[in-house]
Chain A
């Protein structure tokens, strides 16, 4: 076991030469496909950097082989979706606060899902405005959330293959993504709408809401039957849910282990990759599970041996996923350690009741969504995470133009401050705006310095 460290792409490029060739050859996705020479994915960040992901030149990565595998798997998702299509699999796009639909999609044979909303990371990874500029052609400019990158991708037809089915939420969902979806439909993409009711958080209404959602899952299942030519199978669904439960358990365990212990055993960027695997399993549930097993083993081993990064001791809660992953690295460089998160994907965290009615358990799961109801619900989730993580401070990385951020930020900040937790809230800066970015870095630096001073005062 190597001493845990965060290293840059250069160092990974060199270390990669030492990884045995057989290991590289054996690490593949879609293992059920014979002779798929394109399915290897154990490659270092430099491989993905040279194809345009310029941010990888700046990021720091964990130095374990498990983290290398995780990065290789995450960064190959784009190609993987195309290969799935080439291999005759059905490709389903799932949009708008979902992640709860994907177990149903994967329960159909040779069918995979992906999450176009996640293309909001692409402009940051590429340090590029290409997708934003493309979205602006349709009227979605800087006053819309970064998820508008997905519209740019629909227009460009170069980031994912034409989906066999696009599922999108409507109703109590993200307004910005709803705008993206409407435009995507206008330019010729057929959308299957899935209505999310407003969760009013009144317990007596729960069954009505559940039934309403379950009915929509039934309709969606029928649609998937048409697309795939296969009937819905309870047994396949049960098997899929079993795997999804394992995956969710692994994510929760990785999070718990990263919050416990003296030292931070894994980088916050890797942990964000791990948490977001719960949305669509990066296009291959089985392999995703194997990747996460590897990450969990590494984290657990480090935790058991008291190993981790040195110099990261200020315990932080991070709220709302940062579109710019560099911010997480930066917090760590300043001595921060992300011990808890609320990345507005709470619907992907509860374990399913494996024996229940398939559509009802999906509905129950959906009702746990972070953003389907009042801000109070999310505030409660955050306070719960705060209690578990024993964080000393919280950072909210909001999105300028995102509809939910301005409504939620004030109640969240108030709730945290009432709980005695200093909180820093800022909007993530779009790629290319260097001066504004440096302001954010300054504020983070000052915030972490003040947390350190506060700790000293309390100790004194």
Chain B
């Protein structure tokens, strides 16, 4: 259609404080792409070509505004040596953390993105997506933040205990996780993707505000500072309830904040003048078993998000469920595509 912007154009304008024809519609379509493409999740998580083809298939099917390269939050921890259990019908889970005790912290080596774990899967997928569609579709690589990676090095419970009982060791793990994330980000950028930093375990649903302030935010900030050096616009995604730490988000330097179980009004009021917002249809609304009205809920979120002074992206609060009902996700996306800004050319 004449004059219609493509996703690349929409995002480009949003990121320089301009109004695109409509807000980008970017539900976090990650492993659900495997469901659309018809492959199992082991293939999706271990083969860059399949991951890329699945992402392209899902984007063609739904027409959303971006491609998501993401398998699981353990991708860096696994490259350090933690073992993950791959499953056909669900995302990988931590099997054996590399640091069963703290005595071998010093032996950790920053992973080589070209050869360790499944990091090369990401790079292959990004490269393919960028070559196939990078002119019209931004490619986003979801990179686990240091807090989440450190939890994958030690096991979640052990790491949370370390933050209380052995904070020095926790900081050591966070520091090396940060350097690994930085190196991986570099390679993802060079392959053609813009990093999205994800920190699901730094959620208010898991840790306190104090822990977030001491163990999560400083490393998010460091990583974002490294990426800002290259003038990249960085989205930070934190799952669950982040209402008790909203005021700390701008301090991380994030340019966009993808939020989950928080009232959009609270986010708008607290940080909307400083950070672009991305959210937040509850993913469980998209399940067949949900009786929530997609149209009604999307409309409520959208009408509020559009007013955000720093810009807005319609999204889901977290990953689209693997078995989401296609019809429901399509309804959300279609509604997002009808939204318009009053301002513009």
Q: Which residues on A are within 8 Å of B, measured CB to CB?
A: 9-10, 13, 16-17, 21, 24, 38, 40, 43-44, 46-47, 49-52, 54, 57, 79, 82-83, 86, 126-128, 130, 134, 137-138, 155-159, 161-162
Q: Besides the contacts A128-B135, A157-B344, A158-B5, what 14 more A-B pairs have beta carbons closer than 8 Å?
A: A40-B231, A43-B230, A49-B192, A54-B130, A54-B135, A79-B16, A126-B135, A127-B135, A130-B6, A134-B2, A158-B12, A158-B13, A159-B9, A161-B18
The chain A residue sitting closest to B15, CB to CB, is A51
Q: Are B232 and A86 in contact (CB under 8 A)?
A: no
CB contact between B190 and one of A9, A24, A128, A161 (< 8 Å): that residue:
A9
Q: Which residues of B contact A127 (CB under 8 A)?
A: 135
Contact indicator per residue, chain B 119-150, by CB within 8 Å of chain A (1) or not (0): 00000000000110011101000000000000
Q: Are B192 and A155 in contact (CB under 8 A)?
A: no
Q: Are A46 and B230 in contact (CB under 8 A)?
A: yes
Q: Are B20 and A86 in contact (CB under 8 A)?
A: no
Q: Which residues of B contact A52 (CB under 8 A)?
A: 8, 12, 134-135, 138
The chain A residue sitting closest to B136, CB to CB, is A130
A94 to chain B, nearest CB (A): 19
Closest 8 CB pairs of A and B: A128-B135, A158-B9, A157-B345, A43-B231, A126-B135, A162-B345, A47-B230, A137-B2
B146 to chain A, nearest CB (A): 19
Q: Are A156 and B190 in contact (CB under 8 A)?
A: no
Could you tell me the dominant secondary structure of chain A's interface residues? Answer: helix
The chain A residue sitting closest to B2, CB to CB, is A137
Q: Are A157 and B3 in contact (CB under 8 A)?
A: yes
User: For residues 229 through 258 of chain B, which have their beta carbon under 8 Å from a beta carbon of chain A?
Assistant: 229-232
Q: Which residues of A contact B136 (CB under 8 A)?
A: 128, 130
Asked whether any CB of chain A lies closer than 8 Å to the CB of B194, the reply is: yes
CB contact between B192 and one of A50, A82, A158, A161 (< 8 Å): that residue:
A50
Bound complex: CA of A367 vs CA of B229, how far in Å? 46
30 cross-chain CB contacts under 8 A = A13-B190, A16-B229, A21-B229, A24-B229, A43-B231, A44-B230, A46-B230, A50-B189, A50-B192, A51-B12, A52-B8, A52-B134, A54-B192, A57-B192, A82-B16, A82-B18, A86-B18, A130-B6, A137-B2, A138-B2, A155-B2, A156-B3, A156-B4, A156-B9, A157-B3, A157-B344, A157-B345, A158-B9, A158-B12, A158-B13
The chain B residue sitting closest to A14, CB to CB, is B186
Bound complex: CA of A394 vs CA of B111, how far in Å? 50
Bound complex: CA of A138 vs CA of B130, how far in Å? 29
Q: Which residues of B contact A51 (CB under 8 A)?
A: 8, 12, 138, 194
Asked whether any CB of chain A lies closer than 8 Å to the CB of B193, the reply is: yes
Asked whether any CB of chain A lies closer than 8 Å to the CB of B88, the reply is: no
Asked whether any CB of chain A lies closer than 8 Å to the CB of B17, the reply is: yes
A49 to chain B, nearest CB (A): 7
Bound complex: CA of A40 vs CA of B189, how far in Å? 20
Q: Size range of the interface on B?
A: 20 to 34
The chain A residue sitting closest to B130, CB to CB, is A54
With A54-B130, A126-B135 in contact, do A13 and B189 touch (Cβ < 8 Å)?
Answer: yes
Bound complex: CA of A399 vs CA of B344, how far in Å? 34
Q: Which residues of A contact B12 (CB under 8 A)?
A: 51-52, 158
Q: Point out which of A9, A52, A130 has the most chain B C-beta atoms below 10 A from its C-beta.
A: A52
Q: Which residues of A contact B4 (CB under 8 A)?
A: 156
B20 to chain A, nearest CB (A): 7
Q: Are B16 and A83 in contact (CB under 8 A)?
A: yes
B12 to chain A, nearest CB (A): 6
Q: Are A16 and B230 in contact (CB under 8 A)?
A: yes
Q: Point out which of A43, A79, A126, A158 has the most chain B C-beta atoms below 10 A from its C-beta.
A: A158
A210 to chain B, nearest CB (A): 38
Bound complex: CA of A38 vs CA of B134, how far in Å? 24
Q: Are A47 and B231 in contact (CB under 8 A)?
A: yes
The chain B residue sitting closest to A153, CB to CB, is B9
A323 to chain B, nearest CB (A): 16
Contact indicator per residue, chain B 1-30, by CB within 8 Å of chain A (1) or not (0): 011111011101100111011000000000
Q: Which residues of B contact A50 (CB under 8 A)?
A: 189, 192-194, 232
The chain A residue sitting closest to B344, CB to CB, is A157
Contact indicator per residue, chain B 257-273, by CB within 8 Å of chain A (1) or not (0): 00000000000000000
A365 to chain B, nearest CB (A): 33
Q: Which residues of A contact B6 (CB under 8 A)?
A: 130
Q: Which residues of A contact B18 (CB under 8 A)?
A: 82, 86, 161
User: For residues 186 through 213 of chain B, which have their beta carbon under 8 Å from a beta carbon of chain A?
Assistant: 186, 189-190, 192-194
A131 to chain B, nearest CB (A): 10
User: For residues 328 through 345 of chain B, which have their beta carbon under 8 Å from a beta carbon of chain A?
Assistant: 344-345
Q: Which residues of B contact A10 (CB under 8 A)?
A: 190
B221 to chain A, nearest CB (A): 15
The chain B residue sitting closest to A162, CB to CB, is B345
Bound complex: CA of A47 vs CA of B190, how far in Å? 9
B74 to chain A, nearest CB (A): 25
Q: Which residues of B contact A128 (CB under 8 A)?
A: 135-136
Q: Which residues of A contact B3 (CB under 8 A)?
A: 155-157
Q: Which residues of B contact A21 (CB under 8 A)?
A: 229
Bound complex: CA of A82 vs CA of B16, how far in Å? 8
Bound complex: CA of A17 vs CA of B227, how far in Å? 11
Q: Which residues of A contact B135 (CB under 8 A)?
A: 52, 54, 126-128, 130
Q: Which residues of B contact A24 (CB under 8 A)?
A: 229
Q: Which residues of A contact B231 (CB under 8 A)?
A: 40, 43, 47
Bound complex: CA of A16 vs CA of B186, how far in Å? 12
B15 to chain A, nearest CB (A): 8
Bound complex: CA of A17 vs CA of B3, how far in Å? 40
B196 to chain A, nearest CB (A): 12
Q: Which residues of B contact A47 (CB under 8 A)?
A: 230-232
Q: Which residues of A contact B192 (CB under 8 A)?
A: 49-50, 54, 57
The chain A residue sitting closest to B137, CB to CB, is A52
Q: Which residues of A contact B13 (CB under 8 A)?
A: 158
Q: Which residues of B contact A158 (CB under 8 A)?
A: 5, 9-10, 12-13, 20
Bound complex: CA of A135 vs CA of B201, how far in Å? 48
Bound complex: CA of A87 vs CA of B344, how far in Å? 16
CB contact between A86 and one of B8, B17, B21, B193 (< 8 Å): that residue:
B17
Q: Are B16 and A46 in contact (CB under 8 A)?
A: no
B124 to chain A, nearest CB (A): 15
With A157-B344, A158-B9 in contact, do A13 and B16 touch (Cβ < 8 Å)?
Answer: no
B309 to chain A, nearest CB (A): 13
Bound complex: CA of A38 vs CA of B131, how far in Å? 29
Bound complex: CA of A49 vs CA of B6, how far in Å? 17
Bound complex: CA of A253 vs CA of B25, how far in Å? 50
B316 to chain A, nearest CB (A): 24
Bound complex: CA of A282 vs CA of B226, how far in Å? 28
Bound complex: CA of A86 vs CA of B138, how far in Å? 25
CB contact between A54 and one of B5, B17, B134, B229 (< 8 Å): that residue:
B134
